[in-house]
Amino acid sequence: MFEHALNGLREINRPEILILVTILAVILVAISKSGFGGALGSLGLPVMVFVFPPKLAIAILLPLYLITDFFVAYTWRKFPVIKILKVMVLGGLSGQVLGWLCFGYLDDKYILILIGFLALITSIRYFKNLIWKNVVVDKTKTILKSSFLRAMGWCGFSGFSSFVALTGGIPAQIYLLPMNLERQLFVGTMSFYFLIINLAKLPFFFDLGVFSPTSILLSIVVLPILPIGIFIGKFLNKMLSDQMFYHISHFALFCCGINLISKQFL
C-alpha cells in the first residue's frame, strides 16, 4: 500500500510544497483546538485546498482532526454538559447522513464554493457581532435557549458542513453560545461533540472511498507536527489576548473565502 502511496506522491507536481501547506494547515488546527477553542479551525481546509483537491484535503485532515479531538476531549473530560451534548450529537449525526447522501454529487468546484462561502459567513458574522454585540435582547436569548428545533437546525447544518468541508464549528457555536455556559463547560461540550461526529464520519468516508494510500501517507508524514501545534496553542493562549487572536484569525479566514470563491468565477 505504501509503495503505491509513494508512487502517488512522486506523480504530484512539487510534493514538497504540498507537504509544507499541509503542515501549515495542521499547525493552525492544532493551535486552534488546543489553545483557543476553535478560532482557527475553519482555516485548515481553506488553506489545504489552495494546492489539493477538496476531497483529498478532507481525507488528509480528518485523521489529524480526530487525533487532536481525542487529546482535547481528554483534557476537558470532566466538563461536557451531557443533556446538551445529546441533542447536539443527534442533530450533528442527522446532518452527516445528509452530507453522506450529497457528497458523491458535489464536484470539487461546488465544494470549493461552499467552503469559501462558509469562510465568508463565519468571518463576516464575527465582525458584525463586534459592532452590534449588544443588540440581542435577553428575552430573545431565553427563547433560543430552549428550542429543540433550533438545536436540530444549527447542529444539523454543523454536521452537514463538517462532513463536506470540515467547517462545522461555527453552526455549532451559533447554537451553543447563547446559552452562556461557563468557559470550561462550553469547551468541554464542544470537544466531545466534535470527537463523536468526527468518529462517525469514518464509516461513511470509507464507504465513499475518500481515503487513499496517498492521503493516509500524507497524514502520517505530518503527524509529528501535531504536538508542536498543540504546544504553540497553549503558549499563545498565555501570551496573546483572545480578542487579538480572534481578530487576526477571522480576517485571515475572510481573505481565504474571497480567494476560494474568486478562483471559481474568474
Specify the DSSP class assigned to residue 178: G
What's the whole-number average pLDDT of the chain?
A: 79
pLDDT average, residue stretch 141-158: 74
The residue among 75, 104, 95, 96 whose CA lies nearest residue 209 is 104
Instruction: Flag whether pLDDT at 145 surpasses 60.
Output: no
pLDDT for 84 equals: 92
Q: Report how far Cα 121 is from the mean position of its chain's Cα atoms.
A: 14
Domain count, the chain: 1
- What distance in Å separates the CA atoms of residue 213 and residue 6, rounded to the nearest whole number? 8
Question: Which grid cell sits at 96?
Answer: 452527516
Q: In this predicted model, what pLDDT tens digit does every residue of 218-240 receive, in sequence order?
A: 899 889 988 888 788 778 767 77
pLDDT category at 241 given cuts 50, 70, 90 is confident
pLDDT average, residue stretch 40-60: 80
pLDDT for 137 equals: 41
Q: Report how far Cα 20 is from the mean position of its chain's Cα atoms.
A: 20
Instruction: Flag whether pLDDT at 193 surpasses 50.
Output: yes
pLDDT for 4 equals: 47
Angle in degrees, CA 20, 253, 96, rounded to 5: 90
Looking at the chain, the whole-number percentage of residues with pLDDT higher than 70 is 82
pLDDT for 136 equals: 45
Q: In this predicted model, what pLDDT tens digit does every residue of 19-44 receive, in sequence order?
A: 888 888 888 888 877 766 565 666 78
Question: Which grid cell sits at 12?
Answer: 504530484
Within a 10 A sphere around the Cβ of 241, how many other Cβ atoms? 8
Instruction: Flag whether pLDDT at 265 surpasses 80.
Output: no
The amino acid present at 184, given as its one-letter code, is Q
Provide CB contacts within 8 A for 174, sequence distance 6+.
Answer: 125, 154
The residue among 62, 27, 19, 3 whose CA lies nearest residue 218 is 19
Among 6-20, 83-97, 113-127, 196-210, the least confident range = 6-20
The residue among 255, 210, 225 whose CA lies nearest residue 21 is 225
